[in-house]
Structure 1
Amino acid sequence: MKKSVLISNIILLFWYFLAMIGIKIGDKYLVEGSFKDEWIFMLIPIATFLLMLFTKKIGKILHLIWLGMWFVTQFLSHEWYTIFGNGFMGNIDNKIAYFKDCISLISIEGKYVPDMYHIILHILIIIAIIVTAKFSKKRSKI
C-alpha cells in the first residue's frame, strides 16, 4: 500500500483521536473531549481503515464510503452554517455559543465560522478521500 494512503489516514485518525481526549491550550480548547458521547465514531473509521489494510477492494470501498459520509456530515454541521447562515443541525446562536471557547482562525460577530480543529479535520478528510480514491483507482487498473 502506498505510504501516502497510510500517512494521510493515520494523521486523520490521530487528529480525530484528539476529539476523544480533548486538548486545551491556555483558556481555549483546540477541541473538547467527547469520548463518552462519540466513542463509536472513533471505532468506525478505525474499522474501515483496518478493512482497507487487510482486504482488497471491499475494504477500500467501505473506507471511501465512510470518509464520504463523514465529510458530508461535517459539511452540513459546519460549513453549511457559514455559507447559508442557518442549518438543520441546530440553531446558529447555539452553535456560536457552543464553540465560543474553541480556538478560531476567523471570528465574525454573529456568524458561525468553524473553529481551527474542525477546519483542519475537514481538510484531512478531503486529503484522505483523494489519496485513498487515487490509490484505489490505480490499483484497480493493475
Structure 2
Amino acid sequence: MKPLERYSKLVIPQKLGELEAPGASVAEIRGYFEGLVRDLLSPEGRQGCLLVNTAIEKAAEDDEAAAVVRGHLARLERCMTHALENALRRGEVRDSLDAGGSAKLLVATCQGLMVVGKANPDEAVLRAIVEGAFAALS
C-alpha cells in the first residue's frame, strides 16, 4: 500500500488545494468540483483517481486499502464540513443547512462524479451533476 499512501500524501493535497485553507467556503468547494470536471475531460483524468479506483477494485477485500481510502474520504469530508460551516457563518448557503450531512452528500457526489466521468466524460453530464449538488446548498 506504499504507492497508495504516497499518492494520498503527494497528489491529494494538490487536488484539495484551497479547500484545505482555514477560510475555505463555497467558492473553494466549487473550485474542487471544477478541478474534478477539468480532470475528467482530459485523457489522463479519465484514468481516474487512484483512491477511487482502489475503493472500487480493492477496498472490499483488502483492509489496508480500505483504511487508506477511508482516511482520504474522512479528510475530504472534514474539508467540506469546515467550508460549509464557514459558508453558514457568511450567509452563503441556506440557514437550515446541516454542514455535516451536506458534506457527506458532497463527498459522495464527487466520488460518484469521478465514476461517471470514467464511463461518460460528457461535459454537460458532469456539469449537471455538479450543479445538482450545489442546488442542494441553496
Output the TM-score relative to the length of structure 2: 0.33
Q: Which has the larger radius of gyration?
A: 1
Greater RCO, 1 or 2 (C-alpha within 8 Å, sep 6+)? 2
- What is the TM-score normalised by the length of structure 1? 0.33
> More helix per residue: 1 or 2?
2
Looking at secondary structure, tell me which structure has more strand per residue.
1
